[in-house]
Amino acid sequence: MRILVIGSGAREHALLVALAADPAVTELHAAPGNPGMVQATCHDTAVTDPAAVTTLARRLEVDLVVIGPEVPLVAGVGDALRAAGFPVFGPSAEAARIEGSKAFAKDVMATAGVRTARAEVVDSPADLDEALDRFGPTWVVKDDGLAAGKGVVVTPDRAAAHAHALACLDDGHPVLLESFLDGPEVSLFCLVDGETVVPLLPAQDHKRVGEGDRGPNTGGMGAYTPLPWLPEGVVEQIVSEVCEPVAREMVARGCGFSGLLYAGLAITSSGPEVVEFNCRFGDPETQAVLALLESPLGQVLHAVATGRLAELPPLVWREGAAVTVVLAAENYPGSPRRGDVIEGAEQPGVFHAGTARDVDGRLVSAGGRVLSVVGTGSDLAAARAEAYRILDGIELGGGHFRRDIGLAAEESRISIPG
């Protein structure tokens, strides 16, 4: 099986590593890829251009296209590939609205009877102050569009909430105000093929840039799986009360979902409530989740893409835990510094994201989240120790990372309200 993976981040690097372990996979390609993706042949292609990606897939004669990021999905790359006869892992542009428009996602959930935060869309600065008065004392303000995980401000400071909302509106984007959900968050990835839903392992992301969950939101500074604090049966509850109803509702609307549905949830005192949906694998959770998957990933994704998910045997997982820690460039998440030389990134467990080669062929930083490091072990403590052991062998001038990824769970400091 020849597979083309669309994307250039650590998520796509992790997908390639897992796909390379599938004995049915004979050839791997990536577009545009990055210098760390030695498992694949990389192609410099405009991945948000449906015609360009389709031309590449034809030239390579691939058997499957796996679309990693949300932007090509929302741009309709999957639609163009399917129209050309290629199996695609990733939803149509219409179905990708579950991430591309938070207002659309709220409407789907309301119709499907899925519990989520109370929300209100504001599309005019003139209505902003009155709307903010209906929320608080903790405000949740979201850009109603794609924001790579960074378009959300959660704050007890009304002025900060107002400023973020106004900035979104000034950019021409409506904003979504939401009630604050008090409870630990869970990321649950589900393979979805129409009305068939198969969950992967639950994970928890760390969005804030600083230790102790301080500082601004980022695209994600680390993640771990599984979740020792999550009560037995909660994953099944999320699937039956959240993911399956949403999948059925999207089929009823004529935009059935095919690919990876990411449910971000808060586990509140009254049960799981949806924070957001994404239409693709999340980053950095994917790196940890795939590290524990034993089932052949290429065959699994191909089954989803060809409408055969229901025929697959149950997924098989390794025992133990996995932890992802992100090494970020200086000044991330503001204006990250680029061009700093990286040493030690050739170790196993290192996934490239914001990397490039300079004119001398040296590996250098080329983005905000530069590398993801994954450690595995018999339990969370062992996996954390392994991730930080690898990180301590990497050098990046001005680079920074959190030392507390998964620590609260390891020390049993996470609890569900009520």
Q: What is the pLDDT of residue 146?
A: 60
Contact 258, 65 (CB under 8 A): no
CA angle 361, 365, 368 (to 5 degrees): 160
> 3-state DSSP call for residue 25?
coil
CA angle 239, 289, 197 (to 5 degrees): 25
How far apart CA 405 and CA 324 sit, in angstroms, is 8
Count of residues making up the chain:
418
Give this prediction's pTM: 0.91
- In the chain the domains, ranked by start, together with CATH numbers, are 2-89 (3.40.50.20), 136-178 (no CATH), 182-311 (3.30.470.20), 321-410 (3.90.600.10)
Q: What is the pLDDT of residue 152?
A: 82
Q: How many CB atoms lie within 10 A of CB 319?
A: 7
Q: What is the pLDDT of residue 145?
A: 66
Q: What is the pLDDT of residue 103?
A: 83
Residue 138, burial from CB neighbour count under 10 angstroms (0-12, 13-18, 19+)? middle
Residue 188's alpha-carbon distances to 105, 124, 206, 383, in angstroms, are 16, 34, 14, 20
Q: What is the DSSP string of 334-386?
A: SS-----BEESTTSTTEEESSEEE-TTS-EEE-SSEEEEEEEEESSHHHHHHH
**Helix intervals (H) in 218-284:** 234-238, 244-252
Q: What is the pLDDT of residue 119?
A: 84
Q: Which amino acid is at 187?
A: S
Residue 349, C-beta contacts closer than 8 angstroms, at least 6 positions apart: 373, 374, 375, 376, 386, 387, 390
Q: What is the pLDDT of residue 147?
A: 54
212's torsion region: left (phi>0), alpha (psi -120 to 50) or beta? left
The single residue listed with the structure tokens 């498992």 is 39
Longest dimension (CA), the chain: 59
* Partners of 99 in beta bridges: none
User: Residue 390 corresponds to which tokens in the numbers above?
Assistant: 């690898």
Q: How many CB atoms lie within 10 A of CB 316?
A: 10
CA torsion sign for 169, 283, 2, 196 is: negative
Q: Which amino acid is at 91?
A: P
Beta strand 88-89 with 64-67 is parallel
How far apart CA 31 and CA 37 sit, in angstroms, is 10
* Partners of 325 in beta bridges: 222, 373
CA angle 90, 169, 117 (to 5 degrees): 60
The single residue listed with the structure tokens 């939101």 is 217
28-50: per-residue pLDDT in tens? 999 999 999 999 999 999 999 99
The segments of the chain whose pLDDT lies below 50 read none
232-267: per-residue pLDDT in tens? 999 999 999 999 999 999 999 999 999 999 999 999
Q: What is the pLDDT of residue 173?
A: 85
